[in-house]
Structure 1
Amino acid sequence: MAYVPGVALLAALVAGCSAGSDADDPAADSKPGSPTVTAAPPGKYRTLPESCRAVPRSTLRDLLPGTATLPGEQQDKVYEGTATVTYDTDRKVGCRWKSDAQDASRNLSIDFERVVSYDPAVSDDDRARDVYAKKQEAAALPAPSGVTPSETPGGPASKPAGGTPSGSPSGSSSATPSAAPSGSSTGTGPDADLRPRLLDGLGDAAYLDDELTRAGSTAQHRTVSVVFRTSNVIVTVQYTEQPARVTEVPDSRELQEKAQALARNLAETLSD
């Protein structure tokens, strides 16, 4: 009988600990009618296409002229492309193609980036919108109207290498020019629509950049980039031409039309 009080005390302590555990349980603190945090919806795309198979061979023949004259095995090697090295094919994939012809060499690349938000309060689409906005800002697209760009042999320079808008005359800077297409220097002529710009009707948002670059005494090469976002995927198309002759300048209109056509086809493929 002398041990009965001790047993009663032990039972009371156990009961007290059980009550304390309930107090630490977050569910026990919840009150009826308290707001519930809802996770942001996931993006539309959960996977990415096989980048080196994303461009039909018929399109590659058009973008890489000269390849069709190669022997069969060499053609196949060019058209197969080279996959971009990536450590997470669920998040980023890409492919590169190159052809050398008598008149010029051409390079084509495509990249797919699937953006995922790890913040439950931010949707994948919103995160992708931020990533795309930074890319567009880095491109430093010229305004539709403003300072008259400088003249270069290939056309008006919209910005020097590095993406900073420039209004300095040709030859006043040693920086490698990154020029807008040949045409009007005021942005109001027949080729004004070829300047780097935002694009309509391509994904949720899109822009085009056009850079003409000199590399010492070698021929100028022009790179047209088309970047667009559709839901939580950002796609980049780059098409470059370098003529064999130093005196020749790659044609902006042709490169832009082909790069845009490919970008629109990729957007349609993603929507399927």
Structure 2
Amino acid sequence: MQRRARTYATGVTGVALVAVLSGCLSACTGSSDDGGGPDTKPGNSSSAGPPAEPGKYRTLPEPCGAVGIGTLKKLLPGAEAAESAGGSSDPSGKGDEADPDASPYKGQAIATYDTDRRVGCRWKSATTLATRHLSVDLERVVSYDPAVSDDEQAQLLYDERAGQAEIPTDDDSSTPPDDGGDAGDGGDGGDDGSNDRDADGDGKSGDKSGKSGDSVKGGSGSDGGDDGSEKSDSGSAAADESGTGPEASQSPDEDLSPRILDDIGDNAYIDDQLDTSDSGVHRDITLVFRSANVIATVKYDQWLTDKRRTPDSAELQENARSVAEELAADFEDD
């Protein structure tokens, strides 16, 4: 009798164990077949809203044709005489000797990895007194976040670049500077992307007098006066390239410091940097504006051979603005 009881108990236990294992197997199989819980990866949730609107611009213009000949002639004094002499902007006359059809106004395209997303062009003009470089960079911004539109991504990128250049905001301009400070300081002038520049103008300085040495942020305007220094026989081009004397001063009602511009594109700022290091005297102007999902960067500089003079900030800023306004008008027409 006792042996039967033990055998019966063992049989009940075995049946119960089989039932438990069967239930577990069914539960596990069911969780695999029904696809599991909801996918919480960004962009894959069924509850996500519609994607943000694409940007206004889907293509970019041909950069070397984006600036008119009339504007280029204004910005590149001396290039017209070089063109009539054989197409070279090199005062030695040897630069483009192998290509008689070359023109300093034609420009040189800047190589990029994807011309559908970014294009650029640069120009150069040289005389015995000075050298000027102009470059245009056009970037079409695309957002890869479905919740952020292309225009919004372009705005974020523009704000980042303005911050890196330390451009004062409207809030900054309303705060008086500390004693001994200079409200026009700040900004980080960028390289113009030109491969033929022979020095780097990235230095900074709080001194705007133009006499401190390496670099001066902020414009020091001038009255365009002549200190009697010797000029070449290139006529009006030489007068344009003479720069300004070391004692020229800014007009009191003209703001030439790095600042926000309200009348170009959707957002814009201009940066101005003077470098008086041993490598040469040059002033670099950088103007950046955003039009919808395109960010345009205009860089314009002047190098002087006479280190006793400084490039005219007001003139260079005006010229850079003329290029930016022309580009912005073309985008608005599209």
TM-score computed with the length of structure 2 as normaliser? 0.63
* Structure 1 position 268, deviation (Å): 0.7
Q: How does 1:54-69 map to 2 (within 5 A)?
A: 54-69=66-81
Q: Give, in whole Å, the separation in 2 of the partners of 1:237 and 1:170.
A: 23
Return closer, same or farther for 1:169/1:253 CA change in 2, 3 Å cut-off: closer
Q: SS at 1:44's partner residue?
A: coil
Between the aligned partners of 2:276 and 2:61, the Cα distance in structure 1 is: 35
Structure 1: give runs of 5+ residues left out of the alignment: 1-16, 28-33, 151-155
Q: Which amino acid aligns with 2:81?
A: T
Pair 1:158-2:185 in alignment: yes
Listed one character per residue, the Cα deviations across residues 137-192 of structure 1 (whole Å, up to 9, x for unaligned) are 01112443424556xxxxx9824866878479998x98x323312259xxx96255
| Partner residue in 1 for 2:127 | 101
Inter-partner Cα distance in structure 2 for 1:64 and 1:39 = 46
* Pair 1:178-2:225 in alignment: no
Deviation, 1:56, is: 1.2
- The root-mean-square deviation of aligned C-alpha atoms, in Å, is 3.2
Residues in 2 aligned to 1:160 and 1:96: alpha-carbon distance in whole angstroms = 23
Q: How does 1:250-269 map to 2 (within 5 A)?
A: 250-269=311-330
- Measured against aligned partners, the alpha-carbon deviations of 1:101-132 in whole angstroms (never above 9, x if no partner) come to 13211000000011100111111111111100
Aligned to 2:103: 77
In 1, Cα distance between equivalents of 2:153 and 2:290: 11
Larger Rg: 2
The 3 A distance-change label for structure 1 pair 87 and 170 is closer
Evaluate the alpha carbon distance shift between residue 86 and residue 248 of structure 1 in structure 2; reply closer, same or farther with a 3 A threshold: same
Is 1:131 the counterpart of 2:169? The answer is: no
Q: 1:179 corresponds to which letter in structure 2?
A: K
3-state DSSP class of the match of 1:60?
A: helix
Change over 3 Å in CA distance of 1:118–1:98 after alignment to 2: same
Q: Distance between the aligned counterparts of 2:210 and 2:328, measured in 1?
A: 38
Give, in whole Å, the separation in 2 of the partners of 1:165 and 1:245.
21
The TM-score normalised by the length of structure 1 is 0.76
Alignment of 1:92 onto 2:118: yes
- Structure 1 pair 45/68, CA: closer, same or farther in 2 (3 Å)? same
Q: How does 1:1-272 map to 2 (within 5 A)?
A: 23-24=34-35, 37-70=49-82, 71-74=85-88, 76-142=102-168, 143-144=172-173, 145-147=176-178, 148-149=180-181, 158-159=185-186, 166=206, 176-182=214-220, 190=252, 192-216=254-278, 218-272=279-333
Q: What secondary structure is seen at the aligned counterpart in 2 of 1:193?
A: coil
Tell me if structure 1 keeps the 8 A contact 2:187–2:258: no
Identity of matched residues, %: 43
What one-letter code is carried by the residue in structure 2 that aligns with 1:238?
K
Instruction: State whether residues 182 and 191 of structure 1, in contact with CA within 8 Å, keep that contact through their aligned partners in structure 2.
Output: no
Distance 1:163 1:205 in 2: 26
- Is the CA contact 1:112–1:236 (under 8 Å) kept in the aligned structure 2? yes
Equivalent in the alignment of 1:14: none
How many Å apart are 1:72 and its aligned residue? 4.1
- Decide whether aligned partners of structure 1 residues 165 and 241 sit closer, same or farther in structure 2, where only a CA change above 3 A counts: closer
